[in-house]
């Protein structure tokens, strides 16, 4: 008796995963957005970065808040840009965070500099969501946002698996200021999120694990896509365009 081949079952969370794509595409952006270093870029992630690989976990407990993990994630996805530290912009879908979305980021740097880069949402459900970075981003990385119940309290976590994309960024990491900027950004995000749910004295904790201390010299050419360098070169053009539009 011949056995019939079994039909592969579709995973229950299939709809929560983004469909594969070779290069990123970006929709219409507001006039003020610096739309660079995203359209046409490939996804990078931690395996394709240059520098040392780190796993960073940022965590906060919403003490005194009745919010459930599902309520926190639903609010976070719907209002994601609102919890970012001031001066940073997230130009994503008006429908919130959904699988497959591509967002343009305008990030504030020291000295009034800006960096235009982006992310793609690779996963989103009722309990968590995750981003992956494109070529040129400061970090080749995957960042997961989640919430869970710990006893009677909802705990919220951001976990980043990252490595500097190229030698320029890695120098910034070794000198300390690149990691300092990254840490301050996510500490500020979690503090803002906690305040939204009524936890005004939230204590954000952080744990760092060096996953791989080696650098990947095979990825040294990533420097060609460096978003910070490309944004700095483009900024005078952006300023002139804004002036002419106002005139």
The pLDDT tens digits for 167-195 are: 999 999 999 999 999 999 999 999 999 99
Three-state SS for the chain is CCCCCCCCCCCCCHHHECCCCCCCCCCCCCCCCCCCCCCCCCECCHHHCCCCEEEEEEEEECCCCCCCHHHHHHHHHHCHHHHCCCCCEEECCCCCCCCCCEEEEEEECHHHCEEEEEEEEEEECCCEEEEECECCCCEEEEEEEEEEEECCEEEEEEEEEEEECCHHHHHHHHHCHHHHHHHHHHHHHHHHHHHHCCCCCCCCEEEEEEEECCCCHHHHHHHHHCHHHHHHHHHHHHHHHHHHHHC
User: What confidence score (pLDDT) does residue 14 get?
Assistant: 87
pLDDT > 70 fraction of the chain, expressed in percent and rounded: 91
pTM listed for this prediction: 0.91
**Domains along the sequence of the chain with CATH:** 34-213+225-237 (3.30.530.20)
User: What confidence score (pLDDT) does residue 13 get?
Assistant: 82
pLDDT surpasses 90 at 49: yes
pLDDT tens, position by position, 221-233: 999 999 999 999 9
User: What confidence score (pLDDT) does residue 11 get?
Assistant: 66
User: What confidence score (pLDDT) does residue 112 get?
Assistant: 86
pLDDT tens, position by position, 85-101: 999 999 999 999 999 99
């Amino acid at each position: 008796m011949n056995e019939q081949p079994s039909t592969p079952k579709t995973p229950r969370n299939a709809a929560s995963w983004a469909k594969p794509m070779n290069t990123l595409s970006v929709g219409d952006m507001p006039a003020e957005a610096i739309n660079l270093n995203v359209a046409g870029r490939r996804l990078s992630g931690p395996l394709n970065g240059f520098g040392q690989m780190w796993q960073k976990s940022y965590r906060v407990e919403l003490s005194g808040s009745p919010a459930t993990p599902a309520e926190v994630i639903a609010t976070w996805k719907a209002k994601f840009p609102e919890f970012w530290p001031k001066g940073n912009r997230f130009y994503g879908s008006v429908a919130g965070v959904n699988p497959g979305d591509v967002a343009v980021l305008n990030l504030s740097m020291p000295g009034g500099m800006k960096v235009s880069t982006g992310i793609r949402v690779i996963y989103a459900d009722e309990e968590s969501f995750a981003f992956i970075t494109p070529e040129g981003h400061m970090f080749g990385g995957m960042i997961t946002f989640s919430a869970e119940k710990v006893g009677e309290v909802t705990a919220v976590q951001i976990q980043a698996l990252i490595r500097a994309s190229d030698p320029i960024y890695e120098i910034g990491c070794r000198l300390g200021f690149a990691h300092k900027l990254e840490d301050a950004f996510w500490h500020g995000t979690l503090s803002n999120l906690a305040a939204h749910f009524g936890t005004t004295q939230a204590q954000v904790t952080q744990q760092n694990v060096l996953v791989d201390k080696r650098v990947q010299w095979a990825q040294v050419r990533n420097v060609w896509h460096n978003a910070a360098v490309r944004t700095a070169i483009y900024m005078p053009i952006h300023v002139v365009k804004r002036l002419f539009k106002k005139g």
